[in-house]
């Protein structure tokens, strides 16, 4: 196959599913985004007595687990599995015939809290059930969710820290674009855990205050959790079978910043390379982008580097970090924010960057309130530990 | 598409030179078994460890890094050095990393501080090393790879999924080569999990062969687009199994999809249910050898040890512990994880003198 032919396939989003602190499903998510809802609440699942940060954006377990406890085997699963099941159920409701050849998903910690339970039980001289151990590994959640719905496809689980979800969708996009696959289930998931929460607290990357991305007085991130999935399909294949096409992925960029294990190069060169690549693949000029869903963790270092790169490359294009509303869900973040970007395109509005008070950079921040807008393309950024930078470009389907 | 192996390397409990370890495998030698004790509960585990005399590269990124990153760096650098053709520019080489348990030593230490002394005692130096992609990040920094880098997680079959990702990357016109690395380190916490899961060999009855012996190390291969040399013909990530009794059928499906005539199989048998599942899947006629018998179960790294073993078997015409493979045959590398994943690939040999890793 010639490379010119390989690179001409378009990639359609034919269905999506999401659960996050913003809500269960696309409709609730849209409502929360349009309301600029702050979903950050006090942490209740583990002790935060000795941490600086005491809050996170969390999914209500009562609701999450209510529909998933019927089978004995399911009762043993990690709550991250229930998140993936919830997202997959919504996706399949809209695309019941979708049969992926492979699942490409991102996560950072899988069933981490089961690992914590294992360690604590061991310290108390106890023995754990095999189910606790078996349900801990990071691929288990997607594999179990697929099993529940009768899908038995291989699962390629990408763990590129906080860029995992975007890397998964981006790689899936490229795999369809180059003709390697026709249908891929792509997305990401992560559930809140004590180890990760304390980890970010120990780095003083988590804030005891409100999460204020790109604000001159920002003081750090808050964590979140959730799962989001896309059904991606080769465009012509989807069109031929009459599938509803929600939008397209049209570009992907990935770069590795070798400056430091946890700190981006302050010159913003890593994020910039990822964004430039994604634009080049999408064959777009920066001014053809109408919205940027920034990584925007509200840490001093990320927002300075990302803000600089956005400013230099995109100038006045509107930017928001929706992590201000729903926290940072790590491996799920890129997938959730891809869904947010798709909703913004479909409904022609710009989701707000809440808790914003004072600008530091000359960015066009969508401050505190959503805006109506007319635009065709959106960019979604994710950057992570290890220097991974990932950007995807989404396009509204022309009517 | 076919992929050429331009370089390969491993760090194992039997040593780290490809040819040296290979000769030991052919001679029927096995890595020494040590006892590792768990301070928490006094449990004892049989383990095979990378020799303390193993040389590792020196780099500022590795000063505080855990053993897993050192293993990976040693294997990755050696695989690159082995390439006989000039390497493509670094921005046209991707890094793909396979991992299962990951940086568990620092993860345990980090969480132990939280449990013992409270969250305020948690070390900001340890936390970044607990992240799955920390070893890949260190290796990318050491090599200067600034483009695509992916860490793939999964069970003992994760190596197949990582190799598939590498194949998909190379299929695009954006890249010319992919360094695929896998590594694991041993820690009592992981051993205890497998013990409670009833997969480990009883240290009081090591001679039974039942149950696995954990090990550590790394493997690396540098893959390029097919150039007519030694090639991976097909990579097939298999379907998942949900009960152990399903494993042989899933593996059988993988074998059926690998279309070439298979002369021998380098499998993933480790003393558990996998042994029988693999034998059923490949049948009684095909010679089957698992390097885990001699090197131990390195989980995420194991597929790479199998792949290198298969490549050396094709190169030398010898399968350890078995008869010679048929002329012009293909090698099957079959992988079955302990926790649902399966996969396989076929490898075709090339002219012996040109084969990477030969003396």
Give B274-300 pLDDT, tens digit per residue: 999 999 999 998 999 999 999 999 999
Nearest Cα to Cα of residue B220 among B96, B56, B49:
B96
* pLDDT tens digits, one per residue of B14-47: 999 999 999 999 999 999 999 999 998 999 999 9
Task: Express as a percent the part of chain A with pLDDT over 90.
Answer: 89
Q: How far is Cα A293 from Cα A373, in angstroms, rounded to an integer?
A: 14
pLDDT at B323 > cutoff 90? no
Q: Which residue of A has its CA nearest to B112?
A: A119
B98's tokens: 């396979």
Put simply, whether A157 touches B (Cβ < 8 Å) is: yes
Q: Can you give the pLDDT at residue A262?
A: 87
Q: Can you give the pLDDT at residue B229?
A: 59
Q: Which residues of A are catalytic?
A: 162, 295, 328
Nearest Cα to Cα of residue A195 among A310, A128, A274, A108:
A108
| Mutate: best of B96, B148, B161, partner A, most A CBs <10 A | B148
B86's tokens: 């000039």
Put simply, whether A269 touches B (Cβ < 8 Å) is: no
Q: How far is Cα B93 from Cα B180, in angstroms, rounded to an integer?
A: 10
Helix axes B188-196, B104-117, angle to 10 degrees: 90
What average pLDDT score do residues A150-178 get?
A: 97
Residues of chain B contacting A206 with CB distance shorter than 8 Å: none
pLDDT bin (cut points 50, 70, 90) of residue B325 is: low
Cβ neighbours for A309, distance < 8 A, ≥ 6 positions apart: A268, A269, A271, A272, A275
Q: Can you give the pLDDT at residue A16?
A: 98
Put simply, whether A46 touches B (Cβ < 8 Å) is: no
Inter-chain touch A203–B147, beta carbons under 8 Å = no
CA distance B159 to chain A (A): 10
pLDDT bin (cut points 50, 70, 90) of residue A226 is: very high
pLDDT at A75 > cutoff 90? no
Residues of chain B contacting A130 with CB distance shorter than 8 Å: 196-198
Q: How far is the CA of B220 from the CAs of A5, B62, B73, in angstroms?
A: 32, 18, 9
Q: Look up tokens 């490409």; give the residue.
A: A104
pLDDT at B150 > cutoff 60? yes
DSSP-derived letter for residue A359 is B
Nearest Cα to Cα of residue B69 among B19, B140, B127, B120:
B140
pLDDT bin (cut points 50, 70, 90) of residue A5 is: very low
Inter-chain touch A159–B147, beta carbons under 8 Å = no
What average pLDDT score do residues A291-299 get?
A: 98
- Grouping H, G, I as helix, E, B as strand and the rest as coil, residue A3 is helix
Task: Express as a percent the part of chain B with pLDDT over 90.
Answer: 83
Neighbours of B55 (CB within 10 A): 8
Q: Can you give the pLDDT at residue B187?
A: 96
pLDDT at A3 > cutoff 70? no
Inter-chain touch B171–A180, beta carbons under 8 Å = yes
Element (H, E) at B281: helix B273-282
**DSSP readout, B90-102?**
GGGEEEEEEESS-
Q: Which residues of A196-224 are buried (b: 16+ CB within 10 A; e: fewer)?
A: bbbbbbbbebbbeebbbbbbeebbbbbbb
ipTM of the complex: 0.96
Bridge partners of A320, per DSSP, are A293
DSSP-derived letter for residue A280 is H
What average pLDDT score do residues A272-290 get?
A: 97
pLDDT at A67 > cutoff 80? no
Put simply, whether A204 touches B (Cβ < 8 Å) is: yes
CA distance A130 to chain B (A): 5
Q: Can you give the pLDDT at residue B352?
A: 45
* pLDDT tens digits, one per residue of A338-362: 999 999 999 999 999 999 999 999 9
DSSP-derived letter for residue B322 is S
Q: Can you give the pLDDT at residue A2?
A: 41
pLDDT bin (cut points 50, 70, 90) of residue B354 is: very low
Inter-chain touch A175–B154, beta carbons under 8 Å = no
* pLDDT tens digits, one per residue of B163-191: 999 999 999 888 999 999 999 999 999 99
Residues of chain A contacting B152 with CB distance shorter than 8 Å: 156-159
Residues of chain B contacting A3 with CB distance shorter than 8 Å: 172-173
Q: How far is Cα A355 from Cα B207, in angstroms, rounded to an integer?
A: 65
Cβ neighbours for A243, distance < 8 A, ≥ 6 positions apart: A12, A14, A95, A233
Q: Can you give the pLDDT at residue B324?
A: 65
pLDDT at B146 > cutoff 60? yes
Put simply, whether A309 touches B (Cβ < 8 Å) is: no
pLDDT at A312 > cutoff 70? yes
Q: Can you give the pLDDT at residue A274?
A: 97
Q: Which of A133, A178, A204 is facing B196, going by the closest CB pair?
A: A133
What average pLDDT score do residues A294-303 get?
A: 96
* pLDDT tens digits, one per residue of A76-134: 899 999 999 999 999 999 999 999 999 999 999 999 999 999 999 988 887 788 888 88
Contact A163, A384 (CB under 8 A): yes
| Mutate: best of A199, A208, A389, A390, partner B, most B CBs <10 A | A199
pLDDT at B351 > cutoff 70? no
Q: Can you give the pLDDT at residue B84?
A: 79
pLDDT at B356 > cutoff 50? no
Put simply, whether A280 touches B (Cβ < 8 Å) is: no
Cβ neighbours for A278, distance < 8 A, ≥ 6 positions apart: A170, A251, A252, A253, A379, A391, A392, A393
Q: Are strands A55-57 and A155-158 parallel, antiparallel or unpaired?
A: unpaired
Cβ neighbours for B43, distance < 8 A, ≥ 6 positions apart: B37, B188, B191, B192, B195
Q: Are strands A23-24 and A371-372 parallel, antiparallel or unpaired?
A: unpaired
Put simply, whether A171 touches B (Cβ < 8 Å) is: yes
Say how many Å lie between the first and final Cα of chain A, rounded: 32
Nearest Cα to Cα of residue A203 among A159, A271, A260, A163:
A260
Q: Which residues of B293-304 are buried (b: 16+ CB within 10 A; e: fewer)?
A: bbbbbbbbbbbb
B102's tokens: 């990951």
Q: Can you give the pLDDT at residue B91?
A: 87
Could you tell me how many helices (H) and strands (E) chain A has, helices first?
15, 16
Backbone angles phi, psi at A269, to 5 degrees: -70, -35
Q: Which residue of A has its CA nearest to B132?
A: A159
Mean pLDDT of chain B: 92
pTM: 0.96
Q: Can you give the pLDDT at residue A68?
A: 63
């Amino acid at each position: 196959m010639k490379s010119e032919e390989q690179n001409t396939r378009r990639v359609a989003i034919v269905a999506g599913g999401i659960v996050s602190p913003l809500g269960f499903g696309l409709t609730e998510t849209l409502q929360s985004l349009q309301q600029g809802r702050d979903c950050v609440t006090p942490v209740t699942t583990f002790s935060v007595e000795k941490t600086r940060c005491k809050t996170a954006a969390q999914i209500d377990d009562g609701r999450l687990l209510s529909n998933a406890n019927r089978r004995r085997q399911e009762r043993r699963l990690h709550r991250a599995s229930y998140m993936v099941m919830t997202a997959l159920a919504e996706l399949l409701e809209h695309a019941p015939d979708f049969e992926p050849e492979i699942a490409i998903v991102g996560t950072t910690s899988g069933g981490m809290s089961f690992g914590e339970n294992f360690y604590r039980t061991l310290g108390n001289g106890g023995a754990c059930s095999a189910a606790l151990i078996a349900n801990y590994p990071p691929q288990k959640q997607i594999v179990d969710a697929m099993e529940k719905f009768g899908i038995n496809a291989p699962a390629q689980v990408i763990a590129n820290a906080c860029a995992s979800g975007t890397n998964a969708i981006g790689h899936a996009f490229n795999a369809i674009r180059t003709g390697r696959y026709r249908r891929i289930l792509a997305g990401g998931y992560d559930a809140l855990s004590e180890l990760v929460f304390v980890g970010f607290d120990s780095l003083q990357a988590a804030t005891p205050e409100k999460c204020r991305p790109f604000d001159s007085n920002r003081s750090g991130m808050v964590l979140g959790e959730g799962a989001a999935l896309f059904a991606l399909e080769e465009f012509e294949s989807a069109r031929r079978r009459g599938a509803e096409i929600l939008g397209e992925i049209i570009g992907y960029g990935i770069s590795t910043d070798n400056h430091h294990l946890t700190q981006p190069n302050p010159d913003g060169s890593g994020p910039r390379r990822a964004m430039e690549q994604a634009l080049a693949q999408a064959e777009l000029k920066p001014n053809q982008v109408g919205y940027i869903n920034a990584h925007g963790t509200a840490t001093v270092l990320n927002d300075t580097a990302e803000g600089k790169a956005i400013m230099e490359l995109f100038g006045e294009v509107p930017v928001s970090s929706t992590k201000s509303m729903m926290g940072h869900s790590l491996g799920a973040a890129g997938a959730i924010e891809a869904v947010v970007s798709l909703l913004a395109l479909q409904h022609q509005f710009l989701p707000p960057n809440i808790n914003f008070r004072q600008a530091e950079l000359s960015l066009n921040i969508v401050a505190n309130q959503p805006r109506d807008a007319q635009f065709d393309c959106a960019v979604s950024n994710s950057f992570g530990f290890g220097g991974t930078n990932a950007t995807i470009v989404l396009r509204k389907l022309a009517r | 598409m076919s992929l050429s192996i331009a370089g390969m390397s491993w760090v194992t409990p039997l040593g780290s030179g490809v040819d040296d370890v290979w000769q030991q495998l052919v001679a029927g030698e096995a890595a020494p078994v040590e006892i590792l004790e768990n301070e928490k509960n006094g449990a004892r585990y049989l383990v095979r460890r990378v020799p303390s005399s193993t040389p590792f590269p020196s780099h500022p990124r590795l000063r505080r890094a855990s053993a897993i990153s050192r293993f990976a760096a040693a294997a990755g650098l050696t695989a690159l050095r082995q390439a006989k053709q000039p390497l493509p520019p670094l921005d046209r080489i991707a890094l793909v990393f396979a991992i299962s348990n990951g940086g568990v030593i620092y993860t345990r230490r980090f969480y132990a501080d939280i449990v013992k002394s409270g969250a305020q005692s948690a070390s900001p130096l340890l936390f970044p090393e607990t992240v799955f992609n920390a070893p890949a990040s260190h290796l990318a920094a050491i090599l200067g790879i600034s483009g695509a880098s992916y860490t793939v997680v999964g069970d003992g079959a994760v190596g197949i999924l990582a190799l598939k990702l590498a194949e998909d990357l190379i299929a695009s016109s954006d890249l010319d080569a992919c360094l695929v690395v896998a590594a694991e380190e041993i820690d009592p916490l992981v051993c205890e999990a497998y013990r409670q899961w009833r997969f480990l060999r009883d240290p009081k009855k090591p001679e039974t062969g039942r149950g696995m012996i954990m090990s550590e190390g790394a493997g690396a291969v540098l893959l390029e687009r097919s150039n007519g040399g030694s090639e991976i013909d097909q990579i097939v990530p298999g379907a998942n199994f949900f009960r152990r009794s399903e494993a042989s059928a899933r593996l059988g499906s993988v074998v059926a999809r690998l279309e070439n005539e298979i002369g021998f199989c380098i499998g993933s048998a480790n003393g558990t249910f996998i042994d029988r599942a693999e034998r059923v899947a490949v049948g009684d006629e095909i010679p089957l050898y698992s390097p885990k018998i001699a090197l131990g179960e390195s989980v995420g790294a194991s597929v790479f040890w199998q792949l290198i073993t298969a490549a050396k078997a094709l190169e030398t015409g010898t399968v350890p512990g078995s008869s010679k493979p048929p002329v012009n045959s293909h090698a099957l590398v079959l992988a079955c994880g302990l926790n649902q994943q399966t996969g396989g690939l076929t490898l075709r040999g090339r002219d012996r003198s040109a084969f990477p890793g030969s003396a």
